[in-house]
Amino acid sequence: MSAKIFQLPYIGYDNFQGLELLYTAAGEFSVIVRIENAVTELSADERGYISYQELLMQIIKTLGEGYILSKQDVFVAGRFLGCETQGYLQKAYDEHFYGRRKVELYSYLVITRKVERSRFYVYNEKSLHNFKSAVAKVLGTLNEGNLKPQLLDKSALDQYIGRCLSMDFSSLHITRNNFFAKEDR
């Protein structure tokens, strides 16, 4: 069995007119959008699921050919800690659920513009303008669907990629100590 070299999916960042882009080695560029999942967890209302899928299909149609749309749902297990509140009912609620297990859901959409594989990457400002326009349309569609989209800025992109690499979405600080590089294991 031959050794496989681990390669990061992205090689760098660029800011194009306020839009933080991630670049791959092949020259493809992406943006990452954090969204709120509109469907209530464990909901029995199928209309919510159907409208969510229709919204994603509308985004795919808006983007058209030459784009990759991927969605990542991150489930983070933790403990309910509550928050400092003034109201009696909220305080009683927080005390009742304090320390219980909870699961948080974070959803991300990655929009990638593909490039032709047989060519070297060539900077094309027109294609970047088209990409920015497509991203703006997608953000508009997500806003209409009440998904509260947030484009990740450079620091949020760093944190997102670091958490993906360390497979740790719950800790306050990201550590990349889950790599083991010896041959005996």
> How far apart (Å, rounded) are the C-alpha atoms in residues 162 and 57?
30
Q: Is residue 177 part of a domain?
A: no
Return phi, psi of residue 129, to 5°.
Answer: -65, -45
Q: Which domain holds residue 64?
A: 12-74+106-166
Q: Is residue 117 part of a domain?
A: yes
pLDDT in tens, 7-66: 677 888 889 999 999 988 888 899 999 999 877 777 778 888 899 899 999 999 999 999
Report which DSSP code applies to 147: -
Q: Is residue 171 part of a domain?
A: no
Q: Is residue 64 part of a domain?
A: yes
Q: Is residue 182 part of a domain?
A: no
Place of tokens 């990201």: 174
Number of domains in the chain: 1
- pLDDT of 70 reads 94
Q: Is residue 48 part of a domain?
A: yes
Q: Is residue 93 part of a domain?
A: no
Q: Output the domain CATH number for residue 47.
A: 3.30.70.1130
What does the pLDDT average to over 145-151? Answer: 94
Q: What's this model's pTM, rounded to 2 decimal places?
A: 0.81
